[in-house]
Chains A and B, each alone.
Chain A
Amino acid sequence: MPVLDVKIPPLGESISSGVLAKWHVTDGTIVKKDQPLFELETDKITSEGTAEAAGKIVLKVAAGTEVKIGDVVATVDTDAGPVSAPPPPVSAVKVENKAAAAPSAPVMSSSSLPSSPAVRRVSEETGIDPTSVSGTGKGGRVTKGDVLAVAEAAPASPSPQSKTETKATPAAAAVSPAAATPTDRQSRRKLTPLRKRIAERLVQAQHEAAMLTTFNEVDMSAVMALRAKYQDDFVKKNGLKLGFMSFFTKAVVHALKEVPAINAQYAGDEVIQNHYYDIGVAVSTEKGLMVPVIRGADQLGMAEIEKAIGDAAKKARDGKITLADLEGGVFTITNGGIFGSMLSTPILNAPQSGILGLHAINERPMAVDGQVVIRPMMYLALSYDHRLVDGKEAVTFLVKVKQAIEDPSRLLLSI
C-alpha cells in the first residue's frame, strides 16, 4: 500500500528550517487531497503544508517541533480507508512485571475523543490546544505527557493566575476595594514562533550593524502639485492612482546610483556590491511588518511601481506572500507617516545597509527666499550601517532623495 511521506517543502534559499507550529489534523484521520495539514513558521513567513493525496495520516512530529527542509513530518497511507487498521505490532511474550510500554495503532480520529482530565487541566493552564498535539496514547489519544512535552518545547510560560506585586501601598489597597484582581492587571500571551524569530533577528541586526540614523526634511509641495495636475490622466491611463511611494521609490533608486555605498552589504571580510535595484516597501499586516520587494525598480515606470506596490500590499494582507516575495531586496522604504509618526529611527532590514523612513506630512512654516510660507513638510530618516557607509555618504544620500522629491525633474534628468 503506497505510503507517501509528507515533507517540509523548500521555502527559499535562506530558509533551512522552521517550526511546525500547528497541526490542522489529528493523528489517524483521513485527509483529503489539498487539505491543509500544518502551519509552518519560519523567520520570515508562515506557510501551510497541504496533503498531496488522500489517505490516512500518521503524524511523526509534535506541534512546536523545529523541523528542517525535507524532514518527513507525517505519512499518508493512500490505501487506508476510515475503518480498517493493520494489526498492530504485538510485543514479545514477556514474563511478569515488565514496564508498561503501551504501543498503540491509531484506529480512530483522536479529535473525536474527549480529553482526559489531566490533559484538560494542563491545556487550560498552558494555553496549548490539545487538538493540535499529536497523541501517543491508545488510538492516538493525547496523553498528559504529550501536552507537557509541547509545553516544554515552547517555553513562554503563561499562567493566567499570575501573582500581583504585593508592593502596592496599603493606602492604595484601601482606596480601591474593587481593585483589579491580578488577572485584570496583567495577562499573558504566548509568543508565536514567528514573533520570536522576528524579535531575534531585529536584535541581531542591531548587534551586528553599527546603526545610526541621519535626518532631513522634504517639502512635498512639488510632488503634491504634480499629482494634482496629472492624477486624472494617470488614473485614466493606468487604472490606479498616483501615490507618493512611486516618487520615493524613484528617488531612492536615483540616490542609490549616486551613493552606491548604500547599495552594498557587509559580509564578514567582504563587501557585496549590488548592481540591481530591488526595493522593499514595508507593509503592515496583522502578522507583523512585512517587506515585499519591488523588483527592478530602476526599470519600472511610475505606474508599474504603483501597481507592484499595490499588488504586494494586497498579497501580504491576504497572507499569500511567499518567501520569494520577501527575499533579495537591497534597500527598504518604510512609512510611519500613515500612523501619524512625525519622526523615527527605523531599524535596518538585515542584511541591507540602509533604510529610509517616511513620516507624516505636516504643514509647517518654512523660510523660503526670505519669506515665511506654509509648506507641507515631511521629515525623512535614513538609518544606515556605519561599518560600510560613512556619514558623508549617508547625508548625501538623504539630500539626493530630498532634492529629487522637491524637484522631480531631477529624476528625469538623473541629476
Chain B
Amino acid sequence: MESFDLIVIGAGPGGYVCAFRAAQLGLKVALIDKRATLGGTCLNVGCIPSKALLHSSEHLVFARKHAAEHGIEFGSVELDLATMMKRKDAVVGKLVGGVGQLAKARKISTFVGSASFTSATTVSVAPADTGDGKAAGAPVELTAKNIVIATGSAPVELPFMKFDGKTVVSSDDAIAFTEVPKKLVVVGGGAIGLELGSVWSRLGSDVTIVEFLPKIVSTYDDDIVRTFTRILQKQGLKIEVGAKVTGFSNGILTAEREGKTLEFPADKVLVAVGRRTFTDRLGLDKAGVALDDKKRVKVDGHLKTSVAGIWAVGDVIAGPMLAHKAEEDGVAVAEWIAGKAGHVNWDLVPGVVYTAPEVASVGLGEDAARAQGLSINVGKFNLAANARAIAAGATDGFVKIVADAKTDRILGAQILGANAGELIGEIVTHMEYGGSAEDLGRTIHAHPTMSEALKEAGLAVSKSALHSL
C-alpha cells in the first residue's frame, strides 16, 4: 500500500492542476487517470481538439470564401481531412505530452487505470489494459489523508437514441470523423453543438442544429443570441429552436414543435445536449461520499464532501462545467489541504463559445439583471464601428457592458465578436477589483485593437461613447 499526502482521482484540468499546485506546496501526490495521457476530456477529446479543428476549418472557409476579396487567388481549395485530423492529434499530443512532463518534473506519481474507493482513505487502481499484449497488472492500493475526486463528466446520452459511435455520436467521436458527413444533425444548441456543428459545416456538411429551448446558447442575452443566430444562419447552419427531439430511425431524426412533427434526414447525429457528472465505478458508497439530487458529488463551500479528507472539484460537482473553473477548484483545494488560504470566485467564471464570431460572457447579463429587478445601465458598442475590426474584416458582433445604475460597478459583460474569448478577460479583471464602467472607459486601450470596443462600451454605459452615437 503506497502512502501519499494527496491522491487525485482524474487528471483533467481539475485534477492535474490540483496535483501540480499540491506538489508546489510540498505535498507527495498520486495522480490517477484511466487514460494513459493526462489532461482528461479537455485535452484529449474536448476543448483542445475542437479548438484545433475550429482554427483549421476557419482557415479553409477564409481560403474558399474570403481570400479573393483580399486579393489572394487560389486555384481550387481542397480539404485533406486526414491531414487536418493529424494536425489536431499533434496539437493534442503536444499538450498532453507537456502536462505529462510537468507532472514528472514535479515528482507526481501517476497511475493509469480505473480508480475506486475501498475505504474513506484508500483507493484501488485497476490498471487499464495497455493493449501491448501484456495482461493487465494487479490492482494497486493507494492511501492518503486527503483524496480529491476530479472524475469530471461524460456526454449525456438520450435513452431513445443511444450512442453507437458511428451514426449517433457524442463529441468524443465528432472530433474524429474520418470523412465529412453529408448531412449532420446536431441535437443541442449549446457551445459544444454549435462549435462542432460549425466545424463540419465549414468542412462541407449540411448541418442542422436542433435545440429544445426557444433560443440557442440560452444563457446569453436575447439580443446577443438573435444576432448570433442570424450570423450562423448566414454561414449556412440551419437552426431549429423550440424543437424536442423524439427519435432517430432510418436515417431520419424526428422532432416535435408546437404539436407538429419535424423530420431531418441525417447521415450522422451528434448528440450534444449536455454532460453528466461521471462517478461510474468510483465506489463512492465504500467511502461514504454523498451525491446531491442531480447525482453530482455534494460539497460545501470549501469543496469538502460529506467525508472528512475527501474533496471534489470540477465537472463532478455543481457549477459551470468549464475547464478553468475546474482548475481554480483544484488550486483552491490544494491550498486548503496544505493549510493555506485558497479561494475561488465562482461569480466571475467567464464562458466562451468558440464559433466564429466567438461569444463570451462573465457575470450578470442584462436580461438576468432586469429579471432580478436590479437598477442597471447598459452600454453597447458595435464592432462595425471599431477600426481594427473593419481593417480585419471582422465586424460582426457587439460588446455589451452591464453596470449598477448607482455605483457604476460592472455587473457583467457579453461579447459577440472575433476574439471575444480573449477580450472577456479584461472585463473579468475589472470585475475582480470592483471596477466601474467608467474605470473601463478611462483605461487606455491600444489603437487600433478590438479591445477598444470594450472601452467604448464602458463609456456607452454613461452615454459617453466617442466612436458611436
Contacts and interface: CB of A to CB of B under 8 A. Distances in A.
- A, B from the same assembly: yes
B298 to A, nearest CB: 10
A91 B362 CA distance: 17
B302 A116 contact: no
A85 interface: yes
3 closest residue pairs by CB, A with B: A145-B407, A137-B434, A117-B442
A411 B437 CA distance: 74
B436 A99 contact: no
Nearest to B339: A87
A96 B349 contact: yes
Contact of B341 (A87, A136, A149): A87
Contacts of B434: 102, 104, 136-138, 141, 143, 145
A151 to B, nearest CB: 12
B460 to A, nearest CB: 15
B432 to A, nearest CB: 6
Interface of B: 219, 299, 301-303, 317-320, 332, 336, 340-349, 351, 361-365, 368-369, 372, 374, 404, 406-412, 431-436, 438-439, 442-443
A100 interface: yes
A93 B319 contact: yes
B377 to A, nearest CB: 13
B433 A141 contact: yes
Contact of A117 (B299, B369, B410, B439): B439
B368 A86 contact: no
Given A95-B319, A95-B320, A148-B407, 17 more contacts: A87-B336, A90-B342, A92-B301, A96-B219, A97-B219, A98-B364, A99-B364, A99-B374, A99-B411, A100-B431, A117-B438, A117-B443, A143-B409, A144-B407, A144-B438, A145-B406, A145-B408
Contacts of B408: 118, 144-145, 148
Nearest to B329: A93
A330 to B, nearest CB: 50
Contacts of B302: 90
A50 B298 CA distance: 48
B110 to A, nearest CB: 28
A188 interface: no
A167 interface: no
Contacts of A86: 341
A88 interface: yes
Nearest to B367: A97
Given A87-B336, A145-B409, A100 B347 contact: yes
B442 A100 contact: no
Contacts of B336: 87
A145 B318 CA distance: 32
Interface string A265-296: 00000000000000000000000000000000
With a 10 A CB-CB cut-off, give which of A97, A101, A143 has the most chain B CB atoms: A97
A121 B438 contact: yes
Nearest to B347: A100
A155 interface: no
B342 to A, nearest CB: 7
A90 B301 CA distance: 6
Contacts of A104: 434
Contacts of A87: 336, 340-343
